[in-house]
Amino acid sequence: MFIIPVGNRVDWKRPPVVTLLLILINCFVFFVFQAGDERNDEKATRYYFSSELPKWELSRYSEFLEKKGDPAEMQQFGDMLRKRDSDALLAMEGDAKFMRELHAGRVITPQDSEYAGWTAQRSKYESMRSFTTRYVYYVDDPSPVNAFTATFMHGGFDHLFGNMVVLFLIGFLVESVVGKALFLLTYIVSAYAAVFTFSLTAHGGGYLGASGAIAGLMGLYTVIFGLRKIDFFYSLGFYFDYVRAPAIVLLPLWLGNELYQFFSEQGAHIAYMAHFGGLLSGAMMGLLYRWKRPALIESHHEEIESKEMDGKAFKRGMDHLGAMEFQKALDVFKTLQEKHPQDMNLVLLAYRAAKPNPSSEDYHRAALRLLTLPEMDAATSEQTHAIFQEYLNSAKPVPRLGHDLAAKLAKRFAGSGYCDDAEKLAKFLHSSAPQHGELPAVLLALARGYYREQHKEKFEAILQSLISQFPHSKEAEAATGMLRVA
């Protein structure tokens, strides 16, 4: 059984930084540190059998087995030893009790004559072994450092890929709610909780992989979202579907599935109890967060619900626009504008919906709002010019261009290659407000526009007009200099 929640798109304005960082770390460890594991282990084994370590260690392991008093085990190891097979080395290193004694210096002691040579050769051998062998977590040789490093290692690409997909899907849903600090803390705490529960049921085994920590995030998710209904994807063999249900329902389903898999698939190389421990740990972290920060959770859920409602309303408005139900579309976009006054896309859609009624206040308001947009790029300038032409030709009873807006547009169009429209605006400004403070700047911008278009006659005529009308302005001074150069 496979069950995973699915949510909205990632908000890249507030990206899940910790989630992405964890994915990068896991991938980096796998593709860089673990990449040469097989080659390094082979190299280390060759060194081992070329050194004096077999003479010093394997013989003592034989004595250890003899004291243990298991004839079958002694016979099996003796056969390996006679073949000088690497299996003898694996058998010795798989005996956690003997290896603890060996590493502690109680098998080859400082009093032994070979101790110095053994220490040097053993250290070299250890340094040559694979990254995974050195840093995986061994139940019979527990280490808090290895419990942490094992969380970022994987047994193969499929293992890594599956974990990272789930980490991303869960991570971007949860991180934005609880924040980066608690999200990372839950990941780490759950990693240790997963190792602990795995150790209770897997004697002599090794553990690696991020699945226990990810399970903690899944447990955190179910409690944080609680009774909120979410969409989740599930698969039962070849059958799969989407279902909408309260998030908390997933917790007992996930826990029950891990227990069922653990008891029904004994011997499987999957750490089901690590997943179980991670889930419980994450759920407890979620309960703690709900107790300490209930208002933050509710405000986030309200924000999400508001976005979902706005998304549905936006789709409804677009459907009305596509069906040419312009007034209905306009009502939707105006309502959305009240909630999102800075969203210029909504202003543009309101303009399109109001355009069939060019005498309406909504049409004039939307057109003028778009015409006052700051110039950001060529696309914005082109859009502004197109809307200006539409508004000039369609507005009823007449366009409502104020003097300040006319001056602003004239300078913009002169600089964007629309000198004809810039000249129309300059004439409008000259006739209706001949003493407007921006008129000299408009004329100078228009002259420069015609200069770029290589219209020399208009260039010179506008400069002469500027000098005669505003002889004491700084623009007239600039025009005089331009005429000398020209």
Residues 6+ apart with CB under 8 A from 261: 268, 270, 272
Which of 21-30, 125-134, 376-385, 424-433 has the highest average model confidence (pLDDT)?
21-30
- Give the DSSP letter string of 55-111: IIIIHHHHHHHHHHT-HHHHHHHHHHHHTT-HHHHHHHHT-HHHHHHHHTTSSS-TT
Alpha-carbon distance of 154 to 157, in angstroms, equals 8
What is the band of 230 on the pLDDT scale with cuts at 50, 70, 90?
Answer: confident
Residue 69 is predicted with a pLDDT of: 80
Residue 163 is predicted with a pLDDT of: 92
| Span 116-138, pLDDT tens digits | 999 999 999 999 998 988 888 88
In 150-238, beta strands by DSSP E: 206-207, 229-236
Residue 176 is predicted with a pLDDT of: 81
List the domains of the chain with CATH numbers: 2-13+149-292 (1.20.1540), 37-129 (no CATH), 404-486 (1.25.40.10)
Alpha-carbon distance of 447 to 445, in angstroms, equals 5
The backbone torsions φ and ψ at residue 53, rounded to the nearest 5 degrees and listed phi first, read: -60, -45
Q: At what angle do helices 86-93 and 96-103 cross, to 10 degrees?
A: 80
| Span 231-260, pLDDT tens digits | 777 666 666 666 777 778 888 888 888 888
Tokens of 16: 């899940």
Which amino acid would we find at residue 415? G
More confident residue, 218 or 1: 218
**Stretch 37-43: mean pLDDT:** 91
Which amino acid would we find at residue 226? G
Per-residue three-class SS string for 442-462? HHHHHHHHHHHCCCHHHHHHH
Would you say residue 161 has pLDDT above 60? yes
Would you say residue 56 has pLDDT above 80? yes
Would you say residue 282 has pLDDT above 80? yes
Would you say residue 1 has pLDDT above 60? no
- Give the DSSP letter string of 261-303: HHHHSTT-SS-HHHHHHHHHHHHHHHHHHHHH-HHHHHHHHHH
| Span 363-373, pLDDT tens digits | 999 899 888 88
- Reported pTM: 0.62
Q: How far is CA 98 from CA 92, 140, 199, 245, in A?
A: 7, 11, 19, 52
Residues 6+ apart with CB under 8 A from 439: 407, 426, 429, 430, 433, 469, 470
Mean per-residue pLDDT of the chain: 86
| Span 293-352, pLDDT tens digits | 777 667 766 666 667 777 788 889 899 989 999 999 899 888 888 888 888 888 889 889
Residue 73 is predicted with a pLDDT of: 81
Residue 84 is predicted with a pLDDT of: 65
**Stretch 70-99: mean pLDDT:** 82
